[in-house]
Structure 1
Amino acid sequence: MPTQTAAERRAEAKVAYDAYIDKCPSRKLLDTLSDKWVSLVLVALSDGPRRYSDMARRIAGVSQKMLTQTLRSMERDGLVTRTVTPAVPVRVDYELTALGRTLLPLMAAVKTWAEEHIEEVEAARSRYDSLT
C-alpha cells in the first residue's frame, strides 16, 4: 500500500463526499432532508418535545404510516430521539437532538424565502402553464 501525502488524502476525501456521485453518503442524506415530511417534522419539533399524536394532528395530510417512517428515518440519522413512557396508554415523545436542532436555521431560511417569493413563483407558474 503506497503512502499518501496529506494533499492526496484531502483530495480523496473530497471525492468520497461528492453529492454528485450516486453512491455518496451525503447525497443520501440530502435525499432525506429534502423530503417534505422531514422538513415538517423538524418544524413541528422546533418548540420542544411532542407526542406522536400531537404531531399527527399538527402536520396536515401526513398518514400514520408516513409519519412513522419519517420519524424512524430521522431517529436513525440522529436527528430525533424517541422516549417511551410506560403508561396506559403508552406515551411516546419525540424530540430534536442537538444535531437535529442545527437544521432549524436552515429550515427557517427556506420558510422565509418561500414566504417572500411565493407570489413570484406563482406568477412564473402561471406564465409557464399558459404557454403549454
Structure 2
Amino acid sequence: MTVVQTETKPAQEKDGVCLSPCPIERGMRIIGGKWKGSILWHLQDGPMRFNALARQLGGASKKMVDQRLKEMEQQGLVSRQVLSTRPIAVAYEITPFGRSSLAILEQLKDWAEANEL
C-alpha cells in the first residue's frame, strides 16, 4: 500500500489567496503602526513618564504619542500607571507581550543599518 501525502494549505488560505489577514499582516497591525516600534524600543529599559517618552520620539506630536499609547495599551503591548493626579503624571511600561516583539525589532534595526540607502 502506497501512502500519498498531499500538501494542505492553512485554513485561512485558498489557492494562494489569504481569506483572512495573513500572519505578516496581523503582526504588522500590532507593531507596524507609525511610532509603535519606536515606543516599544524606548520602553525596553524600564518605565518612562509620558513627557520623557514623547521627547525621545522627536518627530511625533504629543497627540500622536498619546493616540499610539492608547492603542498599544488596548492591544496589551504597554501598561499605564498613574503616578499622581495633581498634576496628572503617568508612566508607561512594556508588557511581557510587548517585550516579545523586541527580538523582531532588533532584527529590523540590524537589517536597516546593514541596508542604508
List gaps (5 residues or longer) in structure 2. Answer: 1-7
Pick aligned residue for 1:52 from 50, 55, 61 = 50
Is 1:40 the equivalent of 2:46?
A: no
Choose between structure 1 and 2 for higher RCO, CA contacts under 8 A separated by at least 6 residues.
2
| Partner of residue 70, structure 2 | 72
Pick aligned residue for 1:24 from 14, 21, 25 = 21
- Alignment partners' CA distance in 1, 2:52 and 2:93: 12
Q: Larger strand proportion, structure 1 or 2?
A: 2
- Alignment partners' CA distance in 2, 1:38 and 1:95: 13
Q: 1:17 to 1:70 in 2, by over 3 A?
A: farther
Equivalent position SS for 1:15: coil
- Please state how far the C-alpha of 1:117 moved relative to its aligned partner: 1.5
User: TM-score if structure 2 supplies the norm length?
Assistant: 0.78
- Please state how far the C-alpha of 1:35 moved relative to its aligned partner: 2.1
Q: Larger helix proportion, structure 1 or 2?
A: 1
CA contact 2:12–2:20 (8 Å) conserved in 1? no
Percent sequence identity over aligned pairs: 33
Equivalent position SS for 1:86: strand
Q: Alpha carbon RMSD of aligned pairs, Å?
A: 2.4
User: TM-score if structure 1 supplies the norm length?
Assistant: 0.69
List gaps (5 residues or longer) in structure 1. Answer: 1-10, 123-132
